Amino acid sequence: MQKSQDVLVLLRQIIRAAELHDKQLSRATGLTMPQLMSMQTLHMQGPMTVGALAKEMNLTQATVTSILDRLEKKQLVTRVRSQEDKRKVLVYPTDEALILLESAPATLQDRLVEEFELMRGWEQSMVISSLERIATMLGAHTIDAAPMLDVGALDR
């Protein structure tokens, strides 16, 4: 019984770390994790269509559209019709967004990726295998999820 309690405590600590980081990020930037990641992706990859951004972020186009609507209200992104193909609308980060990105704290998932990449291959495989097993035990293995540590709805 003790080991199962240890697992539950560790899972709760991970969930709580994501919750606390989400609140810290929101206080520091006024953005949610998905909003920040959308802007980071646009900054790193350059202007792109909503569909391309959704694919890059592994989210649905509807979710990304909702995220961009909120960012547009905050004047952090603009949508501009492509000059080359008038059927396409490209999303650009604004100057205000770029300033905000410079001061934004590192994300929890950036930290995880950085530490995970430092692990040996066999250690990475063991972590993945353990997490896959836990996801299956919880019936979560069939849930579609984006590669981001966040709590709550992604398009809020």
Tell me: the pLDDT tens digits for 83-123? Answer: 888 888 999 999 999 999 998 888 888 899 999 999 999 99
The Cα 103–Cα 125 span in angstroms is: 34
User: Among 73, 67, 92, which Cα is nearest to 150's?
Assistant: 67
Is residue 14 in a domain? yes
The Cα 154–Cα 39 span in angstroms is: 14
Is residue 149 in a domain? no
Whether the per-residue pLDDT at 155 is higher than 60: the answer is no
Considering the chain, what is the average pLDDT of its residues? Answer: 89
Is residue 133 in a domain? yes
Is residue 154 in a domain? no
The Cα 101–Cα 95 span in angstroms is: 10
Report the sign of the C-alpha dihedral through residues 33, 34, 35, 40, in that order: positive
Element (H, E) at 13: helix 2-29
Q: How far apart are the first and last CA of the chain?
A: 38
Is residue 114 in a domain? yes
Provide the residue range defining the domain that includes 80: 2-137
Q: What is the CATH number of the domain that holds 60?
A: 1.10.10.10
pLDDT in tens, 68-94: 999 999 999 999 988 888 888 999 999
In the chain, the number of structural domains is 1
Is residue 7 in a domain? yes
Residue 33's φ and ψ, nearest 5 degrees, are: -55, -50
Is residue 74 in a domain? yes
CB-count exposure of residue 139 (10 Å: 0-12, 13-18, 19+): exposed
The Cα 23–Cα 35 span in angstroms is: 13
The answer to whether the CB of 73 falls within 8 A of the CB of 33 is no
Whether the pTM exceeds 0.95: the reply is no
Is residue 156 in a domain? no
The Cα 103–Cα 101 span in angstroms is: 5
